[in-house]
Structure 1
Amino acid sequence: MASGDDDDPIIEEIDVYLAKSLADKLYLFQYPVRPSTMTYDDINHVGAKIKPKQQRVELEIAINTTSPNYCRSKGEQIALNVDGMGYDETNTYSAKMMDKQTFSSIQATTNISRYAAAVFRKGELHVTPLTGILQMRPNFSYLDKADSKTREREAANEGGDSSQDEAEEEAKAITVRFARPESEQARQRRIQSYEFLQKKQAEEPWVHLHYHGAKDGRSEHERQYLFCQSSDASENSELVKTPKEYLTMLMPPLEEEKFVKPVGPSNVLSMAQLRTLPLGDQVKTLMKNVKVMPFANLMGLLASGTDSTAVLRCIQQVALLVQGNWVVKSDVLYPKNTCSPHSGVPAEVLCRGRDFVIWRFTLERSVMRKDVTSIIKLPPEDVKEFLEHVAAPRVNRGWEFLLPTDVDFVKKHPDVAHRQHMLWLGIQSKLEKVFKFSKDDFLPKNSPHPEPVHMGGAQRLKAAQERAQENRASLQKDLDARRAGGHVHIKQEPVSDAEDEPMDTSSSSIPNGSVNGYPGATSPAFEHAIGNGGSPAHTSSPELQEFVIKTFRKQFVLTLNEFKRLLNLHLASMPAGQSGFHSVSDHMLTDAIALSHCKQIMVPFPAHSKAAPDEQKVFGLWESGEDFDKHRRLLYDLFTKNYRVRRAMVQSRLAQELGEVPKVDVDRLLNECCSSHAGMWYLKGTIQS
């Protein structure tokens, strides 16, 4: 004995016996929906039955109908719904009330080789292997029976003359179809189907049992079989195994451990699991995850020997052909009654916009995001998601289609390519009606594009300074002429398509010198742009002005970024072709806000603030025609000194200027204009995490 074992002496030796009398009949029942302190030992068991091969057990347990917790009227109503008014031997509840409850089993584990029941007596441990571990849960099949009864009654009430129905049935022609031989793949799918498994389970008959309670004499007699009998003991011999062999016998390695599943997210389906699905579901799952794929790659992901013709039938149901490659359909990614996770736009609007993006790639290799946004009128994050599905950004070229054109597929399957071409023509006609455009607008120009000129940083800065000086001189001249009463047309330089903008800020072609439909009025934003030498801001349209007024009457305080989001949602929800303003610049927005009795609040954000520039531009309703405007103005003044305030500061300032202010008015002011965080109040949209 090693010296280290002296500290861990053997206190007692216990003989272990393997009992075999109940080795194929012993089950462990678990009741997971009931606490362990509330057993069913003392409750009357009305019936029991088992399917030994499937290890399915059903127990009928009586319900105490005399208990003060039992609702007699409800029990009678359930029995009436299930069995009806009549009485026969097939009734579920013979007492005309729900007086019993059924428990059905499910297997807790399929591998029970590690589990056994053991009893200890007189220094001996007797172990009996378990046949199964079953979890007993309430069965609500009586509700299905009640539903079928209801449907039978409704069918009886709606049924007409049966003889007339029979005559009509006799007059119908009979169509005979001959089924083709079942393939091996189809047979495997049928065997794995839920309907086939249910049918196999129903084929095994129930074996009815008689239940004996825990204190019954028969139960006590059966418990004696948990001990090793003398005949079994004579077969036992002294253990001569090595410690390693003995441990292997106690804990045999599991067969399924040879195929360890990789750890991954819960929404990821392994290839082994994928190939257990029907072929159509396999193709749909792959396309939904990959978004765009050549047909050859799709065949490589499926099981070897898969019929390519069957795959072609499946792929055309969930994808569209673009440049010889397959792109998943929009309604597969955005099903009905869903919405965008980014902006909340409905799925119908998303599918319409994404179809336009994909259609553009059927015409050309690259598209500009601002060109797409100006037509489909969706938030930039949604447009970016559409493009990321099928394209990648390229310097000076916008977004280019991810894959090269698959010419081989088009040559090999001209019938599929022609069918997809006709399908795209139908989609194009619908898009033209919705978005009011012509295909000719997007055809590539015949004139060759000039090669991009690469300029260094110093050259770019010098060119920008020269353009700024020219614009400043031209704008000053135009302003002087306008003040003198002359008519000057301000010309804006075209916006370069060299870079893909995150949001379309191009200007609209509204006549100069017209604000909100009134000629000659100049907005503050317009004057500000001229004074700083920038391009002139465009005047506001009546539709935009109306939207600004309605929005600020509801929101009271908005950052420029939040206002853009609301405007994009408004444009996306409008029917195509009814929008009075197609492109809105930042100058145009600030102009419209200034004309709607709103003002910018100069909030002093801290230097370390992570807020974007559009989030630091905060606007508030200044004048609405009610007395409460004074309260809002005092609140705005507080936020020009600090970007966050306490409630006591607001109450003190209101009391100082307006006298005693009721608590309900203070609450209204803060709820309308501010958001609370960690005991401080921030203007809406400015709170920094």
Structure 2
Amino acid sequence: MASGEDDDPIIEEIDVYLAKSLSDKLYLFQYPVRPSTMTYDDVNHLSAKIKPKQQKVELEMAINTMSPNYCRSKGEQIALNVDGTTYEETNTYSAKMMDKQSFTSIQATTNTSRYAAAVFRKGELHVTPLTGILQMRPSFSYLDKADTKTREREAANEGGDSSQDEAEEDVKAITVRFSRPESEQARQRRIQSYEFLQRKQAEEPWVHLHYHGVKDSRSEHERQYMFCQSVDASENSELVKSPKEYLAMLMPPLAEEKVIKPVGPSNVLSMAQLRTLPLGDQVKTLMKNVKVMPFANLMGLLASGTDSTSVLRCIQQVALLVQGNWVVKSDVLYPKNTCSPHSGVPAEVLCRGRDFVMWRFTLERSVMRKEITSIIKLPPEDVKEFLEHVAVPRVNRGWEFMLPTDAEFIKKHQDIAHRQHMLWLGIQSKLEKVFNFSKEDFIPKNSPQPEPVHISGEQRLKMAQERAQEKQKERDAKKSPGGVHVKQEAVSDREDEPMDTSSSSAIPNGSLNGYPGDHTNGNGGSPADTSSLELQEFVRKTFRKHFVLTLSEFKRLFNLHLASMPAGRSVFHSVSDHMLQDAILSSQCKQINVPFPAQSKAASDEQKVFGLWETGDEFDKHRRLLYDLFTKNYRVRRNMVQAKLAQEFENPSKAEIDRVLHDCCSSHAGMWYLKGTIQS
């Protein structure tokens, strides 16, 4: 410090005083769109007002209409657009020309604790803290007013026959609704909404002010308050802080800036934020978002100088090698105890289905979606999601792997490629047990393949089904010496029917939805008896819950039920549409012959409607009367239901009518339809 003092001697000492008289009233105005040499000091200020809590100020200043730079015709045109041709006291421009302009403030900063205004006099520096720093910008609210006038004139011109229209308008019923109690979470969202903030800001009243120019005597009087009113030496305290403490007082650390983050979607991570994570998390995040990526691209996304060996070690934990490219593992996309957002299928079942899709791409460049669906027996939307992760659709060629084979990576990292090959063999072994197939059922990867364009998806599906039938017959011959045969039924080719689980569309060796079929029950009974009892039990529970179902919807629910069963627990050997209908009809249900319109585009399964007929409760008769109405028309009005029930029951209550309608029907556009029969 001694040497520093010699090099930088003190040449003058200045006393600093803190003035507090204007500490809660002093604002700094900035005019960012105006050069500093062109001030508004000499401009006539017409009005001023402020909202103190919001620190919002509005000023009106006169425009010199006699200036040679003022365009009089343009000013008159603007006034005409804003106020029209009539004269009113509320007109914006009373002089019939734009003779004033408005300025509205915005806060330059919300924290002014480090800013002050200072004046120097007689060797003393007097400092007054600032209440706010406001940037005054021109307001163009007059344009909004002109636009409103234009719309009003257009509406007046088009509304010549409004009186006639009003006379012919029908009387409409008004529905009164009572709002539910607001939850705390909903309240927090509401008070943070833009609409709520705008309304709160509008509620604060304006405080009108008087403007005094720079040279006005009142301004000079107010400027005196910027000097400390008491300069008694006895009240002053000597600074006893060390230089480091004093510097910390002058420049405190900005703790608030550490927690402020840019507002953005919760699932978006910037590259700057990404590189703050550990390397393993960086690789996992990238692979989870990209799904499939060559190793060279992955290295390009990571920070320069990242060790490739460490990246290879991390990538093998979250991805698998497919045709030389890395594809994210299924359990990373579908963590345990989650389910499909499309169909609700559990994550374990999704992972097995997606692993099968990835395994198929290790054998060949293209796969057929129908063939995949027939094997893994998952809903079409889930299968489509699996394929979209790693492949692109090609005309007449199915789904092709989206990236070319990275032969360079395989050649350069043969040890990793071999390790991944062994890993795929283990996955293949598990898939063969789950889906009950063998690798020979598919085209080997290295064998010559014909162009995919020559083999359609229907042909591939038919070939797979024929192989399944042959193996099914062989197994039945071994298991049933007496020669009991199961009736074979054709499978529908529609992609929206993944539930038709007849033998012709069954998995090889009788697996269904990825599970091997059980052939004996625990008591030694036949599989047909066990599956029939299980099926009827599922029908009973399902219709007790839904009351009315189309065949299409029931097949979807049954498919989800099978997909959610643990591996090896399924007792369903093969279930056709005919068997499903028989099970429904034998479980206190009946088919409702709904007379759909001739031009209806609903599929046949959507037009097969079944309703619960007998439950033993008091509402059985109500439902039967309702079903009878729907045998005459595919849609009914509420008053028709009320009249029908009134014939059988005296004065049925509103609660009874509501219950039977909501149990069995859906409402649309004032009409009631049986569940699942609303025509789009």
Give the TM-score of the pair, scaled to structure 1.
0.50
Q: CA offsets per residue over residues 575-615 of structure 1, 9 Å max, x none? A: 33443446655555445444545344344567898866654
Aligned pair 1:655/2:650, yes or no? no
Q: CA offsets per residue over residues 614-635 of structure 1, 9 Å max, x none? A: 5454321234566644322210
Q: CA offsets per residue over residues 75-133 of structure 1, 9 Å max, x none? A: xxxxxxxxxxxxxxxxxxxxxxxxxxxxxxxxxx999579746799xxxx9743699xx
Alpha-carbon distance between aligned partners in 2 of 1:292 and 1:510, rounded to the nearest angstrom: 31
Aligned pair 1:507/2:502, yes or no? yes
Alpha-carbon distance between aligned partners in 1 of 2:449 and 2:295, rounded to the nearest angstrom: 33
Aligned-partner SS, 1:320: strand
Shift of 1:502: 6.5
Q: Which residue of 2 aligns with 1:560?
A: 551
Q: Which residue of 2 aligns with 1:685?
A: 676
Structure 2 residue runs of 5 or longer lacking an equivalent are 1-39, 54-107, 120-125, 133-223, 232-260, 457-483, 507-530
In the TM superposition, 1:208-607 aligns within 5 A as 227-228=226-227, 265-444=265-444, 503=498, 505=500, 507-508=502-503, 543-581=534-572, 584=575, 586=577, 589-603=580-594
- Whichever residue aligns with residue 364 of structure 1, its letter is E
Q: Which residue of 1 aligns with 2:44?
A: 9
Alpha-carbon distance between aligned partners in 2 of 1:448 and 1:228, rounded to the nearest angstrom: 93
Q: CA offsets per residue over residues 31-70 of structure 1, 9 Å max, x none? A: xxxxxxxxxxxxxxxxxxxxxxxxxxxxxxxxxxxxxxxx
Shift of 1:355: 1.9
Shift of 1:442: 3.1
Alpha-carbon distance between aligned partners in 2 of 1:342 and 1:665, rounded to the nearest angstrom: 35
Q: Mark the CA change 1:420 to 1:448 in structure 2 (over 3 Å): closer, same or farther.
A: closer
Aligned pair 1:618/2:609, yes or no? yes
Q: Mark the CA change 1:277 to 1:551 in structure 2 (over 3 Å): closer, same or farther.
A: same
Shift of 1:544: 3.9
> Residue 370 of structure 1 contacts residue 501 of structure 1 at CA under 8 Å; is this kept in 2?
no
- Give the stretch that moved more between structures: 383-392 or 309-318: 383-392
Alpha-carbon distance between aligned partners in 1 of 2:395 and 2:336, rounded to the nearest angstrom: 36
Alpha-carbon distance between aligned partners in 2 of 1:314 and 1:301, rounded to the nearest angstrom: 15
Aligned pair 1:630/2:621, yes or no? yes
| Aligned positions, number | 408
Shift of 1:286: 1.0
Alpha-carbon distance between aligned partners in 1 of 2:444 and 2:568, rounded to the nearest angstrom: 24
Alpha-carbon distance between aligned partners in 2 of 1:510 and 1:613, rounded to the nearest angstrom: 19
- Whichever residue aligns with residue 403 of structure 1, its letter is L
Q: Mark the CA change 1:347 to 1:491 in structure 2 (over 3 Å): closer, same or farther.
A: closer
Alpha-carbon distance between aligned partners in 2 of 1:113 and 1:491, rounded to the nearest angstrom: 83
Alpha-carbon distance between aligned partners in 1 of 2:396 and 2:573, rounded to the nearest angstrom: 25
Alpha-carbon distance between aligned partners in 2 of 1:546 and 1:495, rounded to the nearest angstrom: 26
Aligned-partner SS, 1:635: helix
Alpha-carbon distance between aligned partners in 2 of 1:297 and 1:613, rounded to the nearest angstrom: 49
> Residue 642 of structure 2 contacts residue 657 of structure 2 at CA under 8 Å; is this kept in 1?
yes
- Whichever residue aligns with residue 367 of structure 2, its letter is V
- Whichever residue aligns with residue 570 of structure 1, its letter is H
Q: CA offsets per residue over residues 433-489 of structure 1, 9 Å max, x none? A: 33333333334497965886699xxxxxxxxxxxxxxxxxxxxxxxxxxxxxxx999
> Residue 491 of structure 2 contacts residue 504 of structure 2 at CA under 8 Å; is this kept in 1?
no
> Residue 505 of structure 1 contacts residue 583 of structure 1 at CA under 8 Å; is this kept in 2?
no
Alpha-carbon distance between aligned partners in 2 of 1:567 and 1:420, rounded to the nearest angstrom: 37
Alpha-carbon distance between aligned partners in 1 of 2:649 and 2:110, rounded to the nearest angstrom: 79
Shift of 1:671: 3.3
- Whichever residue aligns with residue 502 of structure 2, its letter is S
- Whichever residue aligns with residue 275 of structure 1, its letter is R
- Whichever residue aligns with residue 128 of structure 1, its letter is P
Alpha-carbon distance between aligned partners in 2 of 1:572 and 1:454, rounded to the nearest angstrom: 30
Q: Mark the CA change 1:549 to 1:376 in structure 2 (over 3 Å): closer, same or farther.
A: same
Aligned-partner SS, 2:503: coil
> Residue 318 of structure 2 contacts residue 329 of structure 2 at CA under 8 Å; is this kept in 1?
yes
Alpha-carbon distance between aligned partners in 1 of 2:268 and 2:604, rounded to the nearest angstrom: 38
Aligned-partner SS, 2:393: strand
Shift of 1:316: 0.9
Alpha-carbon distance between aligned partners in 2 of 1:112 and 1:364, rounded to the nearest angstrom: 63
Alpha-carbon distance between aligned partners in 1 of 2:358 and 2:647, rounded to the nearest angstrom: 61
Aligned-partner SS, 2:286: helix
Alpha-carbon distance between aligned partners in 2 of 1:401 and 1:411, rounded to the nearest angstrom: 20
Aligned-partner SS, 1:336: coil
> Residue 376 of structure 1 contacts residue 572 of structure 1 at CA under 8 Å; is this kept in 2?
no
> Residue 366 of structure 1 contacts residue 399 of structure 1 at CA under 8 Å; is this kept in 2?
yes
Alpha-carbon distance between aligned partners in 1 of 2:225 and 2:376, rounded to the nearest angstrom: 76
> Residue 369 of structure 1 contacts residue 500 of structure 1 at CA under 8 Å; is this kept in 2?
no
Aligned-partner SS, 1:327: strand
Shift of 1:325: 0.9
> Residue 410 of structure 2 contacts residue 417 of structure 2 at CA under 8 Å; is this kept in 1?
yes
Q: Which residue of 1 aligns with 2:98?
A: none
Q: Which residue of 1 aligns with 2:461?
A: none
Q: CA offsets per residue over residues 293-331 of structure 1, 9 Å max, x none? A: 111111122222221111111111111111111111111
Aligned-partner SS, 1:685: coil
- Whichever residue aligns with residue 361 of structure 2, its letter is F
Q: Identical aligned pairs, as a percentage?
A: 74
- Whichever residue aligns with residue 676 of structure 2, its letter is G
> Residue 377 of structure 1 contacts residue 571 of structure 1 at CA under 8 Å; is this kept in 2?
no
Aligned-partner SS, 1:403: coil
> Residue 374 of structure 1 contacts residue 583 of structure 1 at CA under 8 Å; is this kept in 2?
no
- Give the stretch that moved more between structures: 307-316 or 438-447: 438-447
Q: Mark the CA change 1:415 to 1:647 in structure 2 (over 3 Å): closer, same or farther.
A: same
- Whichever residue aligns with residue 324 of structure 1, its letter is G
Q: Which residue of 1 aligns with 2:178?
A: none
- Whichever residue aligns with residue 508 of structure 1, its letter is S
Aligned-partner SS, 2:321: strand
Shift of 1:272: 3.1
Aligned-partner SS, 2:304: coil
> Residue 436 of structure 1 contacts residue 576 of structure 1 at CA under 8 Å; is this kept in 2?
no
Alpha-carbon distance between aligned partners in 2 of 1:262 and 1:273, rounded to the nearest angstrom: 11
- Whichever residue aligns with residue 503 of structure 1, its letter is P
- Whichever residue aligns with residue 356 of structure 2, its letter is F
Q: Mark the CA change 1:428 to 1:228 in structure 2 (over 3 Å): closer, same or farther.
A: farther
Q: CA offsets per residue over residues 551-575 of structure 1, 9 Å max, x none? A: 2233210123321221111111123
Q: Mark the CA change 1:606 to 1:276 in structure 2 (over 3 Å): closer, same or farther.
A: farther
Shift of 1:664: 5.4
Alpha-carbon distance between aligned partners in 1 of 2:442 and 2:655, rounded to the nearest angstrom: 58
- CA RMSD, 1 decimal: 4.9
